[in-house]
Chain A
Amino acid sequence: MVPLNAYVAVSAVLFITGLLGVVIRRNFIIVLMSVEIMLNAANINLVAFSYYLESMAGQLVALFIIAIAAGEAAIGLAIIIVVFRGKISTNVDEMNLLKW
């Protein structure tokens, strides 16, 4: 029997990895991928608590998180395409379109 703490620890490590990816990477697409890692870490946590506390609510919230991740990926990639069409670099430290 795997203790609940093990799942929480795995989820925490994955979340920190994703957070580091958001902070230190320059490519905007990789930043979005790191956000997906963080959402997956949250999903592991929700499903593990749903199993150990014997309630279905965690799995439902995880399902909604997957739907929101799909929407976020679609909108984020559309924004990247718009930025790239304007011949602007997709590195996050060189995008300053909204800065004045």
Chain B
Amino acid sequence: MVLFFFAYFALASIASGVMTVSLKNPVHCGLALLALLLHVSGLFIILNAEFLWAVQVIVYAGAILVLYLFVLMLMNLKTDDRYFHSSYLYFLAPAVIGSLYVLALLIRSPFGGAKGDAPAEAVLRDGDTHAVGIKMFSEYLLQFEIIGVFLLGAVIGAIVLAKTPKPANKERKA
């Protein structure tokens, strides 16, 4: 059962990722990106990460994607006939060959290592949100604060960049 759901979410996310890159109309690309984000959040559910599932749906699909679609509608772009770079064929073949090689290496390699302190039973007992919260506000508090300052800087930067520029400075001209 888990295998079936994994196969569905994996194949659907790869297909929608390819559609995001290859479709012509930018709005269709945005909707394909929405499908990709939702299917990736399905993978998070399989991996016992319910809190990340919620964050993915709320923040990614709810906020970031709406921002993209909003800007797309605002600018009302007309799609050019040539929506790839002129020399994209030079990139395509080496990328496919190289990624097949990397894929073969990844599938064959054994991944392992020291186990941490959060086995699946311990996570499932109190829920993933509890585990994430305990870890974040004990060991990762500094990183959490840094992310807060970063988001503040991003908000101020976006406002400064996107506000209407003032007409030329009159005192200096006079």
Which residue numbers of A lie inside 8 Å of B, CB to CB?
1-2, 4-10, 12-14, 16-21, 23-27, 29-30, 32-34, 36-37, 40, 43-44, 47-57, 59-60, 62-64, 66-75, 77-82, 84, 90-91, 93
Q: Are A8 and B80 in contact (CB under 8 A)?
A: no
**Which B residues between 34 and 85 are near A, CB-CB below 8 angstroms?**
36-37, 40, 43-44, 46-49, 51-52, 55-56, 59-60, 63-64, 67-68, 71-72, 74-75, 77, 80, 82-85
Q: A29-B71, A30-B26, A78-B161 are in contact. Are A7 and B43 (CB under 8 A)?
A: yes
Contacts of A13 in B (CB 8 A): 14, 17, 99, 103
Contacts of A81 in B (CB 8 A): 71, 74-75, 161-162
Q: Are A84 and B106 in contact (CB under 8 A)?
A: no
A and B contact pairs by CB, cutoff 8 A, 13 listed:
A8-B111, A18-B17, A20-B92, A24-B92, A25-B83, A32-B68, A33-B29, A51-B120, A59-B51, A66-B55, A78-B161, A80-B75, A82-B162
Interchain nearest-CB distance for A27 vs B (Å):
6
Q: Are A52 and B111 in contact (CB under 8 A)?
A: yes
Which residue numbers of B lie inside 8 Å of A, CB to CB?
2-3, 6, 10, 13-14, 17-18, 20-21, 26, 29-30, 33, 36-37, 40, 43-44, 46-49, 51-52, 55-56, 59-60, 63-64, 67-68, 71-72, 74-75, 77, 80, 82-86, 88, 91-92, 95, 99, 102-103, 106-109, 111, 113-120, 123, 128, 131-132, 135-136, 140, 143, 147, 150-151, 153-155, 157-158, 161-162
Q: Are A63 and B55 in contact (CB under 8 A)?
A: yes
Contacts of B106 in A (CB 8 A): 5, 8-9, 12
Contacts of B153 in A (CB 8 A): 71
The 4 closest A-B pairs by CB, nearest first: A55-B116, A71-B154, A21-B21, A24-B88
- Of B80, B123, B155, B162, the most chain A CB neighbours within 10 A belong to B162
Task: Using CB atoms, name the residue of chain B closest to A74.
Answer: B158
Other-chain residue from A27, A36, A37 in contact with B77 (beta carbon distance below 8 A): A27
Contacts of A27 in B (CB 8 A): 26, 77, 83
Contacts of A69 in B (CB 8 A): 60, 64
Q: Are B132 and A33 in contact (CB under 8 A)?
A: no
Q: A20-B21, A91-B80 are in contact. Are A54 and B116 (CB under 8 A)?
A: yes
